[in-house]
Amino acid sequence: MALARRLLGDPHGPADDHSGGLITAPKRYELMAGAAFLGRRRAAYDRLVGLAGVVTGDRVLDIGCGTGYLTRRAAAAAGAVVGVDPSPNMIAYARRASPPSCAFHVAEGRRVPEEDESFDVAVSSLAVHHIEPGQRAETFAEVFRLLRPGGRLLIADFRPPRGAIGSRFVGVMAGHAMRHNPVEQYAPAIAAAGFTIIDEGDLKPFLHYVRARR
Ligand SMILES: C[S@@+](CC[C@H](N)C(=O)[O-])C[C@H]1O[C@@H](n2cnc3c(N)ncnc32)[C@H](O)[C@@H]1O
């Protein structure tokens, strides 16, 4: 079992090598995420908010929000943001750490208890590889339902290292789902849900993003 699953997840929960599953230890997650971004987490997440084109007055959805770090960065630019995550521990932390402009649901990305076409922008960071592969198409379809026509989507996730040493390191530390994260399959899957792809690219230190329009 990878080190991250021991430290962050429920080691007695359903083991699934092909997704990161639920994270249940928010304080440890925050420590590890801060370390992984080498002090540049805020700058990276503000760049994601900028890439998503969030502007004042937008209603934003954050899928797999975890502790709500991106939710709060989006709220600073937008106004109202709703974060969803199936982990009650992560949502409890997010609620404590966030201002009233952020609301949260304990929910999977494929079943968000919100109205059709009720968001201007949807964002997600480091979360799709935590969703079981068989549920990702359903999740993108749910986001399509939730965005208004012309609404914008930004999915950012872990881009596995290409070199053998880096790849082995990620496997030992984080497990199969991160080591073999198929980010190149995201744009086709998002397009299959009905979105028009705008572009995709890499963001330092280890993110790959896809931007799309509903
Ligand atoms: C690595 S964390 C990322 C959290 C946050 N977005 C960030 O950038 O710090 C991945 C999150 O995805 C959540 N997750 C797992 N399965 C999910 C699902 N089916 N739908 C939405 N989120 C899910 C986990 O509970 C975890 O909080």
pTM for this prediction? 0.95
Positive/negative CA dihedral, 13, 16, 22, 23: positive
Residue 11 has pLDDT above 70, yes or no: no
With a 6 Å cutoff on the Cβ, whether 65 touches ligand 1 is yes
With a 6 Å cutoff on the Cβ, whether 26 touches ligand 1 is no
Question: Within 13 Å of residue 70, how many CA atoms lie on the same side as its CB?
Answer: 31
Of 50, 72, 76, nearest in space to 62 by CA: 72
pLDDT value for 12: 47
Q: How confident is the model at residue 4 (pLDDT cuts 50, 70, 90)?
A: low
Q: How confident is the model at residue 89 (pLDDT cuts 50, 70, 90)?
A: very high
Query: Residue 124 C-alpha to ligand 1 middle, in angstroms?
Result: 9
Cα(11)–Cα(199) distance, rounded to whole angstroms? 37
pLDDT in tens, 58-71: 999 999 999 999 99
Cα(85)–Cα(98) distance, rounded to whole angstroms? 15
Average pLDDT of the residues of the chain? 93
Percent of residues, the chain, with pLDDT higher than 90: 79
Query: Residue 69 C-alpha to ligand 1 middle, in angstroms?
Result: 11
With a 6 Å cutoff on the Cβ, whether 156 touches ligand 1 is no
For atom 10 of ligand 1, which residue has the closest CA?
127
- State whether residue 11 is helix, strand or coil: coil
With a 6 Å cutoff on the Cβ, whether 33 touches ligand 1 is yes
Of 83, 158, 78, nearest in space to 125 by CA: 158
Q: How confident is the model at residue 109 (pLDDT cuts 50, 70, 90)?
A: very high
Query: What's the angle, vertex CA 156, arms to CA 151 and CA 160, rounded to 5?
Result: 155
Q: What mean pLDDT do residues 154-159 have? A: 96
pLDDT in tens, 167-195: 888 888 888 888 888 899 999 999 999 99
Residue 104 has pLDDT above 80, yes or no: yes
Of 131, 97, 99, nearest in space to 112 by CA: 131
- Please give the structure tokens belonging to residue 209: 């993003």
- State whether residue 106 is helix, strand or coil: strand
Cα(146)–Cα(118) distance, rounded to whole angstroms? 6
- Please give the structure tokens belonging to residue 87: 């982990």
Query: Residue 68 C-alpha to ligand 1 middle, in angstroms?
Result: 10
Class of domain 3-213: alpha beta
Cα(136)–Cα(22) distance, rounded to whole angstroms? 15
Percent of residues, the chain, with pLDDT higher than 70: 92
Strand-pairing partners, residue 196, are: 213
With a 6 Å cutoff on the Cβ, whether 87 touches ligand 1 is yes
Q: Which region among 37-51, 104-118, 149-163, 173-187 has the lowest average model confidence (pLDDT)? A: 173-187
With a 6 Å cutoff on the Cβ, whether 126 touches ligand 1 is yes
pLDDT value for 57: 96
What are the Cα distances from residue 165, in Å, to 47, 116, 137, 179? 28, 45, 32, 11
Give yes or no for a contact between 119 and 146, defined as CB atoms under 8 angstroms apart: yes
With a 6 Å cutoff on the Cβ, whether 77 touches ligand 1 is no
Q: How confident is the model at residue 16 (pLDDT cuts 50, 70, 90)?
A: low
Q: Where are the domains of the chain?
A: 3-213
